[in-house]
Amino acid sequence: MLDGFSSLGEGIRLVLKPGLRRYVIVPVIIILLLYAGMIALLATLFSGWLEHWMNAVPSWLQWLDFLLLPLFVLALIVPALYTFTVMVNLLASPFYGFLVEAVERHLGEPPAEDSRSLWRQSLDGVIRELQKLRHVVPRMLVLLILGFVPGINVITPFLWLVFSAWSLAAEYLDYTMDAHGVSVARMRELLQAKRFRTLSFGGAVSVLIWIPVVNLFVMPGAVAAGVILWRDHYRLLNETLPGKAVEHHH
């Protein structure tokens, strides 16, 4: 986890530097607007959902109400926050592609060999987000259903935390991998090969995204951190791990 925090902290510092800040303005505006909408929606639905879940607790477990209540609160907030993050990234993905390029230039890294036009990069970014959603949504639905099963719903908050950490790591590492021609399927292989590092990074994002003001810069900062992690860990792995290393852009 400490390694994840250090990478994310370095990424946040990078996007606040002159020359990189301009790539953060539009994503931050999108985050603010959706954040306000999420808070309003949660305020409307939260009490009703929480009451339903507490009433579903078997009588023999009611003596654990003091423990189950915070778990159920967590089980409501974590998927809501993850859904909010997915929506932000779907809208901001074209801008994050440009941020990756700017961060690589700033770090003196060799630029990705990407011959696509800006319009094509933006379109492909949205398509790629939808591909990732196709993988994520069924798993989200399973967790949501488990959350309504008495007894099992006690452990679903912990499952949500692991799912959120993994998915957020994949989300923010993917922008750099996309720029370097790594397919979504290949990206999953790389993340699996470095499970602890992947969860460490995603866990750091999951924690810092709760902190007001800081969370405005966590998302673009995580994109920049993805560039750093690609440079330091995943690029070499992509070249050495058996399988198809790169799908070149056309």
Q: Which of 187, 174, 165 is nearest to 225 (CA)?
A: 174
Q: What is the pTM of this model?
A: 0.75
**Euclidean distance between CA atoms 161 and 156, whole angstroms:** 9
Q: Which of 198, 214, 163, 177 is nearest to 100 (CA)?
A: 177
Residue 148's pLDDT is 75
- Is-contact 56 150, C-beta < 8 A? yes
Q: Is the pLDDT of residue 245 over 60?
A: no
Model confidence over 138-184: pLDDT tens digits? 988 898 888 778 778 778 888 888 998 999 999 899 989 988 889 88
**Euclidean distance between CA atoms 130 and 86, whole angstroms:** 10
Model confidence over 9-23: pLDDT tens digits? 999 999 999 888 888
